[in-house]
C-alpha cells in the first residue's frame, strides 16, 4: 500500500522537532528532504538494474540505519550520501547539507542521539509502493515544510513551490497537452523546486524537453532531485541568477527561445537590479522600459518576454495573473 500523506507529514513534523534549536527553521528542509530522497530511492531502486537511480554499495539508506548509535554517524551519513551522489552525477546536489555540522546538529553524544532518532523516523516509512510519476512526493514534503516554517524564517513558501492546481492550470493556459511533442521545449527562468515544470510536463503524455534556472542553491538541488525522481534525469536546470546572468543562449549570444515559457517568479524582490545594467542590457530585455527602484515586477516580466518568439505559446496572461496576485502596485508593459 502506498504511503499516505498523513504518515509522511507526521514524520516530517517529528523530524523538525529533532532539528529544533541548532539552525534557522528555513534550513530544516536541507536535511529532511535529503534523507527523504535517500529513503525513497533506496526503497524504490536498491538492487534493481537499469533503474533511473543507481543505489551503489555503501550508498543506501540501509547503510545509514547501520550507523545509528555510532560516534561517527555524522561523518558516515555524509560519506553514504556522497557515494550515491557520485554514482548518479548528483555531486553538489544531494550532498549540499553536512550531517557532520556540530554547530547545527550538536556535539558528541548530542549529535549521535539527534541523527539516530532522525534516521529512525524515516526508517519507519516504506516508499516501495509509491510511484514518482504523477506523485510529487518531494514537492508535497517541501510545501508542508514551507507552510509550517516559512513564516518562522521570514520567507514565503511561494518562493519555492507552486501548488499542483496552479501548475496544471498554467500549463493548460499556454497550450501544453496531448499533442505536445517530446522535442518541444518548456522553460522556467525561476524554477524553484521544479514543481511547476513537473506538473506542466505531466500535461504532455508524449513528453517534453525541460529547461530551467534557479538562483537558490538548496532549492536548485531539490529541483534536480525532483527531476530524477520523476523520470526526467536529462532536464537541464542551471544554478544562477536569471536576471543578472541568464544561462540559456544561442550561438550568437542572444537569449535562447523556447516553445513554452512558464513561471511563478519572485515579483516582490527588491534586490533585482544587482548585477543588471538596465539602461544598456546586452539582451535588450528592458527596451519597453523598467522601474529603476522598488520591486522587480516589470523587470521580471520583461525578462520572461524576451525568450518568447513568434512561435512561442504566450505566457503573458498567466504571468500577469500571478503578478497581480503578488502585489497591489501592478504596472503594465505597454
What does the pLDDT average to over 239-262? 88
Alpha carbon distance 175, 245 (integer Å): 28
Q: Which comes out higher in pLDDT, residue 8 or 182?
A: 182
pLDDT at 305 over 60: no
- The secondary structure of the chain in percent helix, strand, coil, rounded to multiples of 5, reads 45, 5, 50
User: Using 50, 70 and 90 to split pLDDT, how confident is the model at 316?
Assistant: very low
pLDDT at 12 over 80: yes
Query: In the prediction, which pLDDT does 297 show?
Result: 52
pLDDT at 104 over 80: yes
Q: End-to-end alpha-carbon separation of the chain, Å?
A: 54
Question: Is the Cα dihedral 161, 9, 205, 214 positive or negative?
Answer: positive
Most confident of the following: 143-152, 254-263, 285-294 = 254-263
Quick one: which of 237, 229, 238, 186 has its CA closest to 207?
A: 186
Query: In the prediction, which pLDDT does 301 show?
Result: 57
Question: For all residues of the chain together, what is the average pLDDT?
Answer: 79
User: Using 50, 70 and 90 to split pLDDT, how confident is the model at 218?
Assistant: confident
What does the pLDDT average to over 260-287? 70
User: Residue 155's CB: how many other CB atoms inside 10 A?
Assistant: 15
Q: What's the whole-model pTM score?
A: 0.74
Question: Is the Cα dihedral 18, 21, 23, 28 positive or negative?
Answer: positive
pLDDT at 95 over 70: yes
Domains of the chain, earliest start first: 5-153 (1.20.1260.30), 159-326 (3.40.50.150)
User: Using 50, 70 and 90 to split pLDDT, how confident is the model at 170?
Assistant: confident
What are the tens digits of pLDDT across the range 108-138? 999 999 999 999 999 988 887 665 444 566 6
Query: In the prediction, which pLDDT does 236 show?
Result: 96
Is residue 236 classed as helix, strand or coil in its secondary structure? strand
The beta strands (E) that lie in 108-207 are given as 185-188
Is residue 90 classed as helix, strand or coil in its secondary structure? coil
What does the pLDDT average to over 304-309? 55
pLDDT at 86 over 90: yes
Amino acid at each position: 500500500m502506498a504511503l499516505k500523506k498523513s504518515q509522511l507529514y507526521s514524520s516530517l513534523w517529528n523530524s523538525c522537532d529533532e532539528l529544533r534549536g541548532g539552525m534557522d527553521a528555513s534550513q530544516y528542509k536541507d536535511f529532511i528532504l535529503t534523507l527523504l530522497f535517500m529513503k525513497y530511492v533506496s526503497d524504490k531502486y536498491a538492487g534493481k538494474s537499469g533503474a533511473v537511480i543507481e543505489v551503489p554499495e555503501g550508498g543506501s539508506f540501509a547503510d545509514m540505519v547501520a550507523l545509528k548509535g555510532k560516534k561517527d554517524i555524522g561523518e558516515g551519513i555524509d560519506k553514504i550520501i556522497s557515494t550515491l551522489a557520485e554514482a548518479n552525477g548528483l555531486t553538489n546536489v544531494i550532498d549540499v547539507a553536512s550531517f557532520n555540522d556540530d554547530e547545527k546538529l550538536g556535539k558528541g553524544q548530542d549529535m549521535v542521539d539527534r541523527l539516530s532518532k532522525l534516521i529512525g523516523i524515516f526508517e519507519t516509512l516504506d516508499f516501495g509502493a509509491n510511484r514518482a510519476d504523477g506523485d510529487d512526493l518531494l514537492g508535497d514534503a517541501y510545501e508542508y515544510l514551507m507552510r509550517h516554517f516559512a513564516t518562522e524564517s521570514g520567507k514565503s513558501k511561494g518562493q519555492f513551490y507552486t501548488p499542483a492546481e496552479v501548475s496544471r492550470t498554467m500549463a493548460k493556459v499556454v497550450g501544453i497537452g496531448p499533442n505536445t511533442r517530446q522535442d518541444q521545449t518548456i522553460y522556467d527562468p525561476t524554477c524553484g523546486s521544479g514543481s511547476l515544470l513537473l506538473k506542466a510536463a505531466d500535461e504532455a503524455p508524449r513528453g517534453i524537453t525541460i529547461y530551467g534556472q534557479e538562483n537558490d542553491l538548496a532549492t536548485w538541488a531539490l529541483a534536480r532531485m525532483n527531476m530524477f525522481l520523476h523520470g526526467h534525469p536529462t532536464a537541464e536546470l542551471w544554478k544562477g541568477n536569471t536576471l543578472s546572468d541568464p544561462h540559456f543562449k544561442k550561438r550568437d549570444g542572444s537569449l535562447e527561445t523556447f516553445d513554452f515559457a512558464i513561471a511563478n517568479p519572485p515579483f516582490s524582490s527588491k534586490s533585482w537590479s544587482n548585477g543588471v545594467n538596465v539602461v544598456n542590457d546586452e539582451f535588450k530585455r528592458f527596451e519597453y522600459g523598467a522601474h529603476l527602484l522598488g520591486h522587480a515586477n516589470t523587470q521580471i516580466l520583461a525578462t520572461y518576454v524576451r525568450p518568447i518568439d513568434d512561435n512561442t505559446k504566450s505566457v503573458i496572461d498567466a504571468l500577469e495573473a500571478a503578478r497581480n496576485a503578488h502585489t497591489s502596485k501592478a504596472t503594465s508593459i505597454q
